[in-house]
Structure 1
Amino acid sequence: MANLPQTLTVPPPRTYTRTDFAALRAFVQRIEPAAIARRYYDADDPDQAPHAATSEAMARYLGAMRDELVRLALLNGSSVLAEHLKTSIRRHGSARLTAVTLRMVEQAAQLAAATPSPAHGVGLWFRPLVAQRLTAEGISTLQELIDWCNRHGGSWWRSVPRIGPLRARTIVAWLRRHEATLGARVDADVDERELAPVAAGQGEGQGGGQGTVVVIGGPPEAPRLAPFERLAVPAELSGGNDTHRGTNRAGAFAFIRAPHDLAAIHAYLHRYRDRLATCRAYTRELERFVLWAVIVRGVAVSSATVEDCEAYKDFLARPAPAFSGPKRPRAGGRWRPFTGALSAGSQAYAVRVLRAAFAWLVDVRYLAGNPWAAVTDPVTVTREVAVQVERALPAQLWATVRRALETHCRAADVGHAADQERDDVRQWRIARAAILLMGDSGLRRAEAAAARREDLRLSPFSTGRAPVWALTVIGKRRRQRTVPVSAATVRALRVHWADRGRDFDAAGAGGPLVAPLVIPGTRAAQDRHGGGEASYTADALARLVRAAVRDLAATLARQGYLSPDDTVRLTGASAHAFRHTFGTGAVARDMPVDVVQQVLGHASLQTTSIYVRAGQQRMLEAAARYYAGDDDSDVTVNPA
């Protein structure tokens, strides 16, 4: 029988990721395999890198990878490289590579370079610390990373702790290089820089603020939007003093120098320059109305009629999709004035703000009349309890949270912890100090962010057994009050100050009680701090606390310390929940309600009484007695 030709099938070469190549370079430089595993692979995710489980497995994997690349280089490389490798193998039993020869081997062994796939985990392509930060936000695959970037736009990295703009641009650039193999692309504006601020005196006019001025307009289904501090209005809709004068402009001498509607609105908002929270809230409502009036209605603000105001009231209940979107930085191109339909209470608030603003414009004789005076507020439901005290943590859960915080803050105190671990512990210490300020003193998040060391002193009424400190803060409506600060909070603050390299007990010590350890390198952060002392905004401190609480909830649930209900409650807890926790806990420990009112800074005792719930409790107890006496088990009903 004739011999049949045989076909030899050569298995395809094994493919390796960028992380594998980086690890091999370290291996060639004689770095210990155990150190390579820690640096380049995630030991907590054995499914992604089982070869990094032990030092021996790491060494075997990298040795096999080196031999595989050398085999491919012998087949595909230059004759000079092949001869060099063969000589090294004959002399040492295996190829001894240097950094230069390894680079040549990698270039000749391109078949072994894996191509990224949308289903690949981020841990296959990014270093462990970066991969851990991404997976902590639910970004586990490359496809999920692309979707996240496209959903959040140029500021996508702000939602991922400790990524930063430089690393974010590197990640996006890598995704763009591999668009063809990934089969998915990153939107063009994802790595778009934020709008650059301009020097004082530039960009002023109808926009009235600093920044790149955008003339709003376009069709309602695809509008050109901008926040109030950056927007300009087309001349024909400006309500100016020339031929475009608004039909509702007053004919008498005006008390403000406002050549057009935006300038008049700026004059109104300027009244609240020392009440930042109020100014932000009023700005939001007025900018929404300006954008709607110009783009959707096509009228100047000073030409709005009652019919226009009624139409805008309906718009608040159902904002157009082009005007809505997730919360984004105001300097970014994806900012939208609405995040969705407003609740009935928010609609009523918007109407009241606009009515008050227009009334002031009438008072200063800029407008002839107030069209909002003829518009009724949207129908709302008066809530039984105005403050959502159900957000408060139960006493047992609050105690569990405090113990868990102490554990996290001590995690790197013993032994030789890595720099990254020490940084994480310092962040936990910031979160602990902030949470205790709110949970033990009932501070609002803005009050905790603004609290200063020079306003904190040991109370003369303290006892040796339970020292109490007194902190003076400025609360809502610029009201000053003094709140107690527990010894546990002061201990947490001392440790946090030590992390900042400052002595909490030094004579004349001053500065924010809670502050970031490092000012981010972003332009916005550098401009805000202006080279001065670092400090948190209320929103930034709330984000820090929220992230810490979510991490605590996941850790405690995984360890079996939380019930499912407590896990849900803690996961959804905001920074303000700890203020409510203080209120309910203080009342439960028989602190007088008027004292609780003073600590919390409530204007009315009725607001504080919600923590007591005496009226609701009496109602339910009376109903229970009524139902107990209404036992109809022995009653026979005659169907006739």
Structure 2
Amino acid sequence: MPVEQHNLVNTDLHIAAQNDIQAVAAWLAEYQDSPQTLKSYRREAERLLLWLSRENKQLNHVDREILRQFENFLMDPQPSEYWVGPTKPRHHPNWRPFRGGLSPASRRQSLVILQGLFDWLVEAGWVSRNPFKLMRDKSRRLNNQIQRIERYFERELWEWLWQWINQPPHEQSSRALYEHARRRFIFAFAYLLAPRISEMANTQMLDFQQSEGRWWWVVVGKGSKLARIPVPDDMLTCLRQWRGALGLPGLPEHQEQSPVIRALDKQRRISDNQLYRLIKGAFTDAAEALEAQNGKPAYISALRQATPHWLRHTSITHQAQSGVSLRYLAESARHARLDTTTRYLHSEEAEWHREQQRHRLGGTAPKARIEPL
């Protein structure tokens, strides 16, 4: 599915670009230090460029009506045989940019990203306007800060999932036992420290460090920012158990330079994509197990649609529900803005719900004497 390149002459350019592809590439270059952000931004920009090419349009043609058409397209990419297909490597002939139509949350996220793209292109002199500014309901759809985090596992579901993960494997071969131990550690790591998928995949043993008797996880996160996160005792226990499965003693030594999460050879690190697939596979297996137990349909559905990032959302949400203060929660989550962290706070909703229970149909409030009319 090639993207046609369209030349555009602009004397007020502030970037070295000859066509839309090069202009978007210049924007993406700003995110080279954030691999996961770059990956998601590239995906949304590529979808837009492919659609514009198919419509024989360029970025500077996009107005409010074209943007409306693109929104509808994201909801239902047609013709489906051209746009939709199973996961394939990017250069595979059967690669397609969509697995299916995007959900409302995914469409909103796509528009948020593309709004930022157009803001940048206006400043770069590549386009003259940002059509997203014309959206009447822009604040509802494009301001992600006002959206509460809903893509997480309720505590009851998480407790079932953790119990399920800890069940011994049916097969007792060395490989099955190793894969079981690895899956258990991955989920413990994800829940207790709230890493992003790339941070977890890239963690080295030396990133777990002890200082004055306390253990910390040192991580280079989004935007190449260095952070130091307290390691809870449960995480230390799981780390010891995982190192035992790797044939390693106790807790990491000083400057022990080796990957934490490893391939089947117990030596090589696994890639972000491999880790992603391991977690998604666990969700699928868990959904089937819960369905066999006649579990709640909503929980089964949550497991089927969950992505690995749900574990980060779950970790932060459950920490908030456990009473971790907003200040420390923001530090652990490594959010640049405090209002990002507040999206995980559901305490006001719970309090509101409790208060609302005072409003009854009758029988709980003092009865006033009703005078005859």
TM-score, normalised by the number of residues in structure 1: 0.49
Q: Measure, in 2, the Cα distance between the counterparts of 1:405 and 1:487.
A: 19
The partner residue of 2:351 within 590, 600, 618 is: 618
Structure 1 partner of 2:6: 239
User: Superposed, which structure 2 residues align to 1:173-192 within 5 Å?
Assistant: none
Structure 1 partner of 2:274: 540
Structure 2 partner of 1:386: 148
> How far is 1:472 from its partner?
1.5
Structure 2 partner of 1:598: 331
Return closer, same or farther for 1:627/1:509 CA change in 2, 3 Å cut-off.
same
Return closer, same or farther for 1:351/1:593 CA change in 2, 3 Å cut-off.
closer
Q: Deviations over 1:243-275 (max 9, x none)?
A: xxx3xx3135x4433333322322222221112
Return closer, same or farther for 1:377/1:470 CA change in 2, 3 Å cut-off.
farther
The partner residue of 1:268 within 27, 32, 46 is: 27
| Residues 442 and 580 in structure 1, CA contact (< 8 A), matched pair in contact too | yes
| Residues 348 and 378 in structure 1, CA contact (< 8 A), matched pair in contact too | no
The partner residue of 2:74 within 316, 323, 333 is: 316
Structure 2 partner of 1:256: 15
| Residues 445 and 575 in structure 1, CA contact (< 8 A), matched pair in contact too | yes
> How far is 1:476 from its partner?
3.4
| Residues 428 and 548 in structure 1, CA contact (< 8 A), matched pair in contact too | no
Unaligned runs of 5+ in 1: 1-224, 226-230, 241-245, 463-468, 520-531
Write the letter of the residue equivalent to 2:73.
F
Structure 2 partner of 1:508: 255
RMSD: 4.0
| Residues 475 and 481 in structure 1, CA contact (< 8 A), matched pair in contact too | yes
Query: Greater Rg, structure 1 or structure 2?
Result: 1
Structure 2 partner of 1:484: 230
Q: Measure, in 2, the Cα distance between the counterparts of 1:494 and 1:425.
A: 16
Q: Measure, in 2, the Cα distance between the counterparts of 1:368 and 1:555.
A: 52
| Residues 87 and 99 in structure 2, CA contact (< 8 A), matched pair in contact too | no
User: Superposed, which structure 2 residues align to 1:286-297 within 5 Å?
Assistant: 286-295=45-54, 297=55
| Residues 473 and 481 in structure 1, CA contact (< 8 A), matched pair in contact too | yes
| Residues 77 and 84 in structure 2, CA contact (< 8 A), matched pair in contact too | no
| Residues 207 and 218 in structure 2, CA contact (< 8 A), matched pair in contact too | yes
Q: Measure, in 1, the Cα distance between the counterparts of 2:289 and 2:107.
A: 39
| Residues 597 and 608 in structure 1, CA contact (< 8 A), matched pair in contact too | yes
The partner residue of 1:586 within 319, 328, 334 is: 319
Structure 1 partner of 2:102: 342
Write the letter of the residue equivalent to 1:540.
Q
The partner residue of 1:568 within 295, 300, 309 is: 300
User: Superposed, which structure 2 residues align to 1:400-549 within 5 Å?
Assistant: 401-408=161-168, 421-462=173-214, 469-500=215-246, 505-518=252-265, 533-537=268-272, 539-549=273-283
> How far is 1:624 from its partner?
1.9
Q: How many residue pairs get matched?
A: 365
Q: Measure, in 2, the Cα distance between the counterparts of 1:445 and 1:553.
A: 21
| Residues 306 and 371 in structure 1, CA contact (< 8 A), matched pair in contact too | no
> How far is 1:432 from its partner?
0.9
> How far is 1:290 from its partner?
1.9
> How far is 1:310 from its partner?
4.8
Return closer, same or farther for 1:510/1:318 CA change in 2, 3 Å cut-off.
same
Q: Secondary structure at the match of 1:626?
A: coil
Write the letter of the residue equivalent to 1:456.
F
Q: Secondary structure at the match of 1:627?
A: coil
Q: Measure, in 1, the Cα distance between the counterparts of 2:290 and 2:20.
A: 55
> How far is 1:603 from its partner?
4.0
Write the letter of the residue equivalent to 1:387.
I
| Residues 291 and 300 in structure 2, CA contact (< 8 A), matched pair in contact too | no
Q: Measure, in 2, the Cα distance between the counterparts of 1:257 and 1:569.
A: 47
Moved more, 345-354 or 452-461: 345-354
| Residues 393 and 577 in structure 1, CA contact (< 8 A), matched pair in contact too | no
TM-score, normalised by the number of residues in structure 2: 0.78
| Residues 493 and 513 in structure 1, CA contact (< 8 A), matched pair in contact too | no
> How far is 1:350 from its partner?
3.7
| Residues 309 and 371 in structure 1, CA contact (< 8 A), matched pair in contact too | no
> How far is 1:511 from its partner?
2.8
Q: Measure, in 2, the Cα distance between the counterparts of 1:266 and 1:581.
A: 34
| Residues 219 and 228 in structure 2, CA contact (< 8 A), matched pair in contact too | yes
| Residues 201 and 269 in structure 2, CA contact (< 8 A), matched pair in contact too | no
Q: Secondary structure at the match of 1:625?
A: coil
Q: Measure, in 1, the Cα distance between the counterparts of 2:307 and 2:115.
A: 32
Q: Measure, in 2, the Cα distance between the counterparts of 1:632 and 1:429.
A: 57
Q: Secondary structure at the match of 1:509?
A: coil
| Residues 62 and 131 in structure 2, CA contact (< 8 A), matched pair in contact too | no
